[in-house]
Amino acid sequence: MSRLHVERHRVARIGWLRAAVLGANDGIVSTASLVVGVAAAASSTSNVLLAGFAGLAAGALSMAAGEYVSVSSQADTEKADLARETAELETQPAAELDELTQIYVNRGLDAPLARQVAEQLMQRDALAAHARDELAITEEMTARPLQAAIASAATFSVGAALPLIAAVLTPQAMLQWGVAISSLLFLAVLGVLGAVAGGAPVAKSVLRVVFWGALAMAVTAAVGALFGATG
């Protein structure tokens, strides 16, 4: 007795995974950079924390709004393409059948088999067949604005909270280095988690997020020190 072979592909996670990794990474990097920059200007711990919490709130709302707007634009484009395809299937069914047949021919099927496949798929669900094979719109890849906005805001907040916790626990004399080093460790962990969830090379993912995080903190520290010295 044969068993059904079930496969779970990581591509199904791409919608929320991209927003989650981006949100957490941005939360850590932007907040840590802000804290390090303000600390470099010789500000008190209370001022540093105030700036950090303000950055957390503003960043979470900005991430949510940005993701919602951008993914909504993608969703609008998908809806417009599906509406046009629906109209073409109603008014030009023969041309749409030829188009789908040619797609399968281009993918390697011989013409008679491609025609048979196209006919059977269109009989079952013509719009779904054209959405998948002509427009590359699938259930896994469909734009979900609200999901992306919530994931981005939530993960940004979690990411931003980590440097703030480090700032609270670190003595003021070591605030810059304590926050910078702990944030790089947080970014390394995020790189590992993102790589494992997405099936990507771990070392490359970790190196990428740590490098850009270190660069951002170095630049803001330099700016903070410059303005602190001239203030």
SS3 track for 67-113: HHHHHHHHHHHHHHHHHHHHHHHHHCHHHHHHHHHHHHHHCCCCHHH
pLDDT of residue 1: 43
Q: What are the residue ranges in the chain where pLDDT is below 50? A: 1-2, 4-6, 9, 11-12, 229-230
204 CB burial (10 A radius; 0-12, 13-18, 19+): exposed
Q: Residues 29, 220: contact at Cβ < 8 Å?
A: no
Question: 198-230: per-residue pLDDT in tens?
Answer: 777 889 989 999 999 999 999 998 888 887 644
71 CB burial (10 A radius; 0-12, 13-18, 19+): buried
pLDDT of residue 151: 83
Amino acid of residue 74 = Q
In the chain, the percentage of residues whose pLDDT exceeds 90 is: 47
pLDDT of residue 15: 54
Nearest of 12, 13, 19, 18 to residue 149 by alpha carbon: 19
